[in-house]
Structure 1
Amino acid sequence: MNPPSDTPPGLLRQVFASPPARVLLLGFVLLMMMGLNADVMTSYAGQPVKSVQHILALAVAGFAVYIGHARLVEQREADELRLQGMGREFGIGLLIGAGLYTACELALMGLGLYRITGLNPLSFLVPAIAMAVSSSVFEELLFRGVLYRSVETWLGSWAALAVSSLVFGLSHLLNPQATLVGALFIAVEAGILLGAAFMLTRRLWVSIGFHMAWNYTQSAVFSSIVSGNDAAPGLIRSTVNGPDLLTGGQFGVESSVLALALCTTTGVVMLVLAVRRGQVVPPAWRRPR
């Protein structure tokens, strides 16, 4: 007969479900899965359809891990991934992401800095799907689903927005052509917008849709550099010449004042809506008991 444990099962569950443990445990698992994503895309670099198939399977597994942790460890429903209304919110995110990025490129074209030189076959639209799905699903689960929610539990929405935005931006310093300016721009423009989308809707679908469409449009359609990663050929063949402040230079359009202005403005609008709708969570010590 086993001796009785001195630690109640409920206490252990509370420890593992606490915000720090959530970041460490669930965050670690998601990071490992992101590493698998990178391995898959490298292994199937010349087989884009197989790469997409494997990445989609890993994305489903990532959702399952996140939902499983919520139900089994946190003992709650993962409402932020509820399927009801998913199509509408995901679609809105796709439209905003594709629209804002296209607006950036159109502005560069209007300034004579981005010139279209030709078109590639439609098959060039396929390879970027894997990258767009991988980055959007796993980065949103990690930075908004895990980090933002964990910080918000104790410190409230504004601290969660600041911390998740900064960490999200600085994580892009790991990319091959990364710059500190580019990482800080992402922290402001994308960190605020994506965090605001979660704050406003309390769900991840808008932020996943935006993230996916932005990256896909950037790479697959306009053949542009994505967040300091090496550019891959997409549908449009083009040349970019001009000051880094406008073009983003080696980091890509995210490091341009155009993206900073458009995305930050959109994020601020979402924050205003979140405040008006009472979606801002105060710090734990200021909540009614």
Structure 2
Amino acid sequence: MRRKKTVKAFISPLTTDKYSGKDVIVGVGITTFAMIGIFIVSLLLGLVEVTGIGVNLKSLMYYTGLVLVAAGWEELVFRCFLLTLLIKWFKNPWIAILITSIYFGYVHLDNDHATLLSAFSNGLGGVMFGIAFVKTRKIWFPWALHFAWNYVQAPILGFPVSGFKVEGIVKLNLLDQTWFSGGLYGPEGGGVGISFRFIVILFIVLWIKKSRGTLKENVLPSNDIPA
């Protein structure tokens, strides 16, 4: 019985429920909106300039698959596995979210052009995805948020993503290399990106309240938490 509960605790977030389809659509919409906002603000403030637009279909298909898999893998490891374990140990989802978010920021320090500010921003990303996971009990909402954040940022808008240069549809020239823009790490590592992280968190909370009517439920019912 104990083994069955343990397996169920980790498999349940991978199944779908009546909210999953809308969670994916809304998740993609939220972070797409946020990244377009970052792009517009960066243009208006003279942090970047557009030098061209062009589609390399082969490259786009490659990065589409790569970002889908990468976002799914990170959500599986950090949310479905690690966050679920920490909730079981600490009996408090907020402590679990804090720990996994700090660790999520820390592991990104190994990326090229990473800074303490970019690690803080990635940690906020962990908070975004952690809240989405805890309050839906499924991987689909955080996965959609994570995928669209990275996908629109790099393969579409041409920003670097977490220190990696990606060929985007929009060709950008980065005019600012300071903490404000995020520079070669990408906008998620700078002040503009961080401000939009908080906007995303607000939209996540609003969607959870609209779709579920509450923010009080935890990631797993007590009888599903592995003992």
1:253 is aligned to 2:191: no
From the superposition, tell whether residues 113 and 77 of structure 1 become closer, same or farther in structure 2 (CA, over 3 Å): closer
Q: Report what 1:80 is aligned to.
A: 13
1:177 is aligned to 2:113: yes
From the superposition, tell whether residues 103 and 78 of structure 1 become closer, same or farther in structure 2 (CA, over 3 Å): same
Contact 1:199 1:271 in 2 (8 A): no
DSSP 3-state at the match of 1:161: helix
Paired letter, 2:16: L
Paired letter, 1:81: L
Deviations 1:86-143 (A, max 9, x none): 2211111111121111110111011122211111235142221122112210000110
From the superposition, tell whether residues 202 and 122 of structure 1 become closer, same or farther in structure 2 (CA, over 3 Å): same
TM-score (norm 1): 0.67
Tell me which of the two structures has the higher relative contact order, counting C-alpha pairs closer than 8 angstroms and 6 or more residues apart: 2
Deviations 1:232-269 (A, max 9, x none): 21111121112522210121111111221111233256
DSSP 3-state at the match of 2:7: coil
Task: State the number of aligned residues.
Answer: 213
Which of 123, 128, 136 pairs up with 1:193? Answer: 128
Backbone CA RMSD of aligned residues: 2.5
After TM superposition, the structure 1 = structure 2 runs for residues 224-263 of structure 1, keeping only pairs within 5 Å, are 224-229=159-164, 231-263=165-197
Structure 1, gaps ≥5 residues long: 1-9, 18-70, 285-289
Paired letter, 1:83: T
From the superposition, tell whether residues 111 and 191 of structure 1 become closer, same or farther in structure 2 (CA, over 3 Å): same
TM-score (norm 2): 0.83
Distance in structure 2 (CA, Å) of the matches to 1:76 and 1:198: 13
Structure 2, gaps ≥5 residues long: 223-227
Structure ID, larger Rg: 1
From the superposition, tell whether residues 158 and 98 of structure 1 become closer, same or farther in structure 2 (CA, over 3 Å): same
Percent identity between matched residues is 24
Q: Report what 2:225 is aligned to.
A: none
More displaced, 111-120 or 206-215?
111-120
Contact 1:193 1:268 in 2 (8 A): no
1:147 is aligned to 2:82: yes
Distance in structure 2 (CA, Å) of the matches to 1:271 and 1:221: 26
